Structure 1
Amino acid sequence: MTQLNDLDVEDVSAAVLAGREVREHGPYKIQVGNEGLEYQSLVISDPVPTGQQILEVAGLRPMDEHLLFQMYANGHLELLSPSETTDLRQAGVEKFLAFKSDRSFRFFIDGRSHDWGGQRISGRTLKQLAGVDAHKHEVYLVIPGKDDELIEDHDLFDLTRPGVEHFAAVEINIKVFVNTLPTYVHSRYLSYWEVVRLAYPDAVPAPNAQFTVTYAKGFEGNSLTNLVDGQIVRIKKGMHFNVTPTDKS
């Protein structure tokens, strides 16, 4: 059996990412992922495979216990039955998701519908499907007439709840005080140097560049706490930071 090299195989995802047409002849490299959006690379020869062929290549058996979705470059998921075909040369077909399940669940993120084959979905996966920066956004379950429910990255939301869920990806915007001045940050966690640059935007690590950083009114309480190089701090609304240059001469 002749071993294929990278030049022999057309990488469908790479072609979509580059915005070029997928070549007419195979073999093709495709990505098949699970509900955690963890993907494996697989090679298939047919440019117009059936859902069954893709499940077979992925080694997912019994096939009648799995649901297969094709993912488009815009993040939309579309169910692909075992007998249906998909054209790998079609613009926008990027990846596939497979679930061991007998039913799918529909929900909306930022007004766009998604179908999901797993009973549960993590907050981090919702962010990925929404196409947002996971470190700078939070996902909420929209509850009309009540406070929206925050879905943390590690939370596993149960999609079997009654009704169709609507989620919203919202940019993190937390008001803190840096050297007494109000400042807005867009992450739940900041490193030592990220805090330093809130006060001194041009600051960079250097042998003679040192800063003393303290904070209060955080999750540790109101007491003054030191933050040193290499540490991170969890951000809370209303925190107070003091950043003082202590450069070596």
Structure 2
Amino acid sequence: MNDSAKAGSGPNHGGGFPAQIGDAKFRFRTVSFDDRKVTGGQIAEAVNAHPLETFVILAQLPSFELETLRPQETTDLSKVSRFFVIEGDGTFKFVVDGLSLEWPKKTLTAEAIKTLVGKDGAHVELLQELENQPDKVIADDEEVKIGERGVERFKTRKTGVTIIVNATPHKWEEKKISYAEIVGLSDYSGQPDIPYTITFTKGPPKKPEGDLPKGHSVQVKDGMDFHVSPTGES
């Protein structure tokens, strides 16, 4: 391994085999190796992961699946070039959209899980599959326990809820909606420049009710109820 393979250095633009190596916070470094085949130990060494036995090395396959790479195990950088090196002494397995993954921490946010399977856009939400219960929608900033009761299973789907604006239902596929967008859905859509008062109820747990000022947006929830009126009128 040459100097370009050391932690913090960039790819070897003169040649070599680059790898993306990330940590638990999804901060990645591009590291380049002289050889196409490297060991898990070399991957960890490249980001100064010491002592080696206190870290877990994960290889992310082109399918987005994650699997443990042992220190003496060899991988081919022409086939797998994204890795994680994270402190831990083992992993917890979970499944997302049928893909097998593992992670050395007991919790992950929904946003992190979506990122791991390449579905981190605003139009996708994560659901936890539960036995004898409806699937649970997990908010992006909500932490999910993956190391508590066997193999947890999740799935993703495109977002889409029904919101009520002045008693009229509307389908909405974004995770948030703005003041201007609510006005556009209301009976006042032809008069966007008039100042309006927007209130809502039945919102998400963190803010089930409140006001939506001009220039702001709010996270939506299925069945959320909005009321729009010109300011000064009830």
- Compute the TM-score of the two structures, normalised by the length of structure 1: 0.73
CA distance in 1, matches of 2:118, 2:194: 36
Matched with 1:14 is none
2:163–2:170 contact (8 Å) kept in structure 1: yes
Q: Which runs of 5 or more residues in structure 1 are unaligned?
A: 11-24, 204-208, 245-249
CA distance in 1, matches of 2:46, 2:18: 11
Alignment of structure 1 residues 1-249 onto 2, 5 Å: 8-9=12-13, 25-26=15-16, 28-90=17-79, 93-178=80-165, 180-196=167-183, 198=185, 210=193, 212-213=195-196, 214-219=198-203, 225-229=211-215, 231-236=216-221, 237-242=223-228
CA distance in 1, matches of 2:3, 2:200: 65
Change (3 A) 1:31 1:193: farther
CA distance in 2, matches of 1:37, 1:89: 22
Q: Give the counterpart letter for 2:217 in structure 1.
A: I
Q: CA deviation at 1:2?
A: 9.7
CA distance in 2, matches of 1:234, 1:76: 30
* Alignment length (residue pairs): 219
CA distance in 1, matches of 2:51, 2:3: 30
Change (3 A) 1:212 1:180: farther
User: Deviation per CA, 1:16-39, whole angstroms, max 9, x where unpaired?
Assistant: xxxxxxxxx51x332111223222
Q: How large is the RMSD of aligned CA atoms in angstroms?
A: 3.4
SS of the equivalent of 2:112 reads helix
SS of the equivalent of 1:160 reads coil
Identity %: 23
1:215–1:242 contact (8 Å) kept in structure 2: yes
Q: Which runs of 5 or more residues in structure 2 are unaligned?
A: none
- Compute the TM-score of the two structures, normalised by the length of structure 2: 0.77
Q: Give the counterpart letter for 1:73 in structure 2.
A: P
SS of the equivalent of 1:143 reads coil
CA distance in 1, matches of 2:29, 2:194: 44
User: Deviation per CA, 1:203-226, whole angstroms, max 9, x where unpaired?
Assistant: 9xxxxx735452433546778x45
CA distance in 2, matches of 1:243, 1:94: 55
